[in-house]
């Protein structure tokens, strides 16, 4: 609660000028460990993970996610039809940040923001899509047991990057934190959540204008035979979904790809011929 009181309260700035590219290349290697941020977060948040051979444990192929948004267990498998089942959520959405102070940050700081482990969680793909760019006033996880951590994480991120909150957003955060007044601010260095089989779920709170639809619990995952190879575009096992362009791939949270390492490299143009595309 004390950290929440340090955040400035203001209205939203116009969304004018917002573009994903304003926050730098998608999934850059800002910590210089040789792995892109998306795979860093998958490796942090998944259990029993496996990696693509020859990538120095950078490219995650499979793993099990204890999803913090839905309190369900998701078996992740990298592939054309399966990668999007687990997505990397910006806890403070990039668009929300843009409207609440990030316009004033320089490009380097915005890139750090977009790749900061504190602001990133591996989560259920449909739940992440339902959230969109909502803040705490318009969307909260259906998993009530995670709401205190989720809101405290948003506060920690906004404090780190000098972003503000709206009055409605602050009120929603305070309501959540009233159930956990001693909640500590997270650091982002460890996995966010482990499934509690006794946890209960509830629908996300209604937005100020229109109610937010309840997120149904995901259907049980049943093992299905691997999809038949696509004739038009041959693909290797364990690849990302294929998009029409690098821009579309980056917007969906995929890339970059390295020549000779990632089969996805061959799908897109390498404009500067440096051996890496979709940067």
**Would you say residue 221 lies in a domain?**
no
**255 and 120 housed in the same domain:** no
Number of domains in the chain: 2
Bridge partner list, 66: 73
Rounded to whole angstroms, the Cα distance separating 244 from 61 reads: 23
Element (H, E) at 176: helix 167-177
- For 210, the token pair is 């229109």
Q: State which residues form the domain around 68.
A: 1-13+20-195
Q: What confidence tens digit (pLDDT) does each residue in 43-68 have? A: 999 999 999 999 999 999 999 999 99
**Would you say residue 205 lies in a domain?**
no
**151 and 38 housed in the same domain:** yes
**Would you say residue 220 lies in a domain?**
no
**38 and 158 housed in the same domain:** yes
Instruction: Report the interhelical angle of 167-177 vs 147-160 (nearest 10°).
Output: 130
DSSP of 15-69: -TT--GGGG-STT--TT-SSS-HHHHHHHHHEEEEEE-TTSSS-SEEEEEEE-TT
**Would you say residue 110 lies in a domain?**
yes
3 within 8 A of 155, measured Cβ to Cβ: yes
- For 242, the token pair is 């294929």
**260 and 185 housed in the same domain:** no
pTM: 0.71
- For 267, the token pair is 């799908």
**Would you say residue 80 lies in a domain?**
yes
- For 31, the token pair is 């910590």
Bridge partner list, 50: 62
Residue-by-residue pLDDT tens, the chain, 279 positions: 789 999 999 999 999 999 999 999 999 999 999 999 999 999 999 999 999 999 999 999 999 999 999 999 999 999 988 999 999 999 999 999 999 999 999 999 999 999 999 999 999 999 999 999 999 999 999 999 999 999 999 999 999 999 999 999 999 999 999 999 889 998 776 665 565 544 445 455 544 444 444 545 555 545 555 544 443 333 444 578 887 778 777 777 788 887 877 888 888 888 777 778 888
Phi-psi region of 255 (alpha: psi -120 to 50; beta: other; left: phi over 0): left
Q: What is the DSSP letter of 90?
A: E
Q: What is the DSSP letter of 78?
A: -
């Amino acid at each position: 609660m004390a950290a929440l009181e340090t955040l400035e309260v203001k209205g939203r700035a116009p969304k004018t000028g917002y573009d994903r590219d304003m926050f730098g290349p998608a999934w850059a290697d800002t910590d210089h460990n040789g792995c892109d941020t998306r795979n860093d977060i998958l490796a942090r948040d998944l259990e029993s993970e496996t990696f693509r051979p020859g990538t120095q444990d950078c490219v995650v192929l499979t793993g099990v996610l204890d999803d913090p948004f839905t309190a369900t267990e998701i078996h992740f498998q990298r592939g054309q039809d399966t990668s999007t089942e687990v997505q990397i959520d910006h806890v403070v959405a990039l668009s929300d940040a843009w409207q609440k102070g990030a316009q004033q940050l320089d490009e380097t700081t915005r890139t750090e923001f977009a790749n900061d482990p504190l602001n990133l969680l591996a989560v259920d793909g449909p739940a992440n899509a339902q959230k969109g760019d909502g803040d705490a006033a318009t969307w909260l996880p259906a998993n009530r047991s995670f709401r205190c951590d989720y809101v405290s994480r948003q506060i920690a991120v906004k404090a780190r990057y000098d972003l503000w909150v709206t009055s409605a957003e602050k009120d929603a955060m305070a309501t959540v934190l009233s159930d956990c007044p001693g909640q500590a601010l997270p650091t982002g260095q460890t996995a966010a959540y482990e499934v509690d089989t006794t946890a209960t779920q509830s629908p996300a709170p209604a937005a100020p204008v229109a109610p937010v639809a309840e997120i149904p619990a995901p259907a049980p995952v049943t093992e299905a035979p691997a999809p038949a190879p696509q004739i038009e575009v041959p693909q290797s096992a364990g690849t990302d979904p294929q998009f029409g362009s690098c821009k579309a791939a980056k917007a969906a949270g995929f890339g970059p790809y390295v020549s000779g390492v990632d089969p996805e490299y061959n799908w897109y143009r390498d404009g500067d011929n440096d051996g890496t595309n979709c940067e």
